[in-house]
Amino acid sequence: MRVGVFLIAAGFPGAAPGRVLRDTVEVIEAAERAGFDDAWIAEHHFMSYGVCPSAATLAAVALGRTSRIIVGTAVSVLPAQHPVALAEQAAILHHVSGGRFRLGVGRGGPWLELEVLGTGADRFDRGFPESLDLLCAALGGGPVSADGEFFRFREVRLVPDARMSPIVACTSPASARLAAERGLPMLLGMHVDDDEKAAMIAEYEAHAVAHAVRRESDAGHIAAAVAHVAGTTERAVRELTESLPRWLGPGLAGYVPVDGRPRPQRDIAKYVELLCRIHPVGSAEHCVEKILTTAERTGLRHLILMVEGTGDHARTLETVARLGSDVLPALRRHRSA
């Protein structure tokens, strides 16, 4: 089983964004020392929920400060940028890192960056499949051209080129079917429990079989989860119950629709309770049990753990170290048994 860290670069109240970004890179360095397989960086614009507006840029910094760990984007928001430009960035990181970079992309939401960056709400509403196909073509190693609704240009060849397959964030059966049609693995979010994850994977597999799709990547699906370790499960839950609302309240309020459509509302207290209940939040033994249960119920063999839940950098580093010393070895012993 592969286990990574998932960094949102969460902007807790009072935290300077520049400090948060530096801390995020330090956590990735700590994750490499602790034995994690990979580290994934989220991207958000104009909000405190996550203060990294370019996951690829921060991934470049992290790759330059590490030597073994794989670093990926979870995710680069595809409707907010040109897919060929993103492919060029991915190709650079692929080559200079010796193949340690992975590109994750997602549809994002109808948020303000579509207006500010000039791509428009239509790119979110109906342009994601075209953008994804163009990205995949640009990362296919050959020449690429476009004659679609959103992109039209003559044939070009990327320099440097790179043969890579992105992973696709999926939050609905429709997005699972989209990924399945292209043979691309899914990234599943923190907000869904094991049953919902299993249902998404079943939807993907059924659609792939029905369309006789051969998966291009053997890396498999990935799921994000909250993780926090303490001496007891009660203490771990209490710490996140106290800290997460301070971040999620103002953070989720930063999602501003570009065109006045209603913004989804979430009961913060119930959401925090859900996250602590369905994810590895607790003692080391409890975390091991939760991860193994998720693997058994869903078939997933790759989890990435969001470890920033307290908003305290020293506590985050402690959680990374304890996951590395007390959780990862137990998971590996179970795998080899």
DSSP characters for 242-272? HHHHHHHHHHHHT--BSSSPPPP---HHHHH
Eight-state DSSP code of residue 111: B
pLDDT of residue 334: 86
Residue 283, φ and ψ in degrees, nearest 5:
-65, 165
**Rounded CA gap, 120 and 123, in Å?**
6
pLDDT of residue 215: 61
Closest CA to 323 of 304, 337, 336, 310: 304
Mean pLDDT, the chain, integer: 96
Through-space distance between the first and last CA atoms of the chain, rounded to whole angstroms: 13
Residue 229, φ and ψ in degrees, nearest 5:
-115, 135
Helix, coil or strand: residue 282 = strand
Is the confidence at residue 213, as pLDDT, over 90? no
131-157: per-residue pLDDT in tens? 999 999 999 999 999 999 999 999 999
Task: Average the pLDDT over 234-260 and give the result.
Answer: 96
266-278: burial string, b at 16+ Cβ within 10 Å, e else: eebeebbebbbeb
Is the confidence at residue 70, as pLDDT, over 70? yes
Q: For 2-336, CATH number?
A: 3.20.20.30
Residue 39, φ and ψ in degrees, nearest 5:
-140, 135
User: Residue 249: what residue type?
Assistant: G
CB 133 within 8 A of CB 78: no
CB 244 within 8 A of CB 275: yes
Task: Average the pLDDT over 59-84 and give the result.
Answer: 98
Helix (H) or strand (E) holding 333: helix 328-336
Percent of the chain with pLDDT over 90: 94
Domain boundaries, the chain: 2-336
Helix, coil or strand: residue 114 = helix
pLDDT of residue 217: 44
pLDDT of residue 51: 98
User: Residue 99: what residue type?
Assistant: G
CB 241 within 8 A of CB 268: no
Q: Considering Cα of 16, then 18, then 22, then 25, what sign does the dihedral take?
A: positive
Is the confidence at residue 218, as pLDDT, over 50? no
CB 46 within 8 A of CB 17: no
**Rounded CA gap, 12 and 249, in Å?**
10
Percent of the chain with pLDDT over 70: 98
Closest CA to 73 of 65, 84, 82, 87: 87
pLDDT of residue 45: 98
Is the confidence at residue 260, as pLDDT, over 50? yes
CA distances from 50 to 11, 43, 47 (A): 6, 7, 6
Is the confidence at residue 202, as pLDDT, over 90? yes
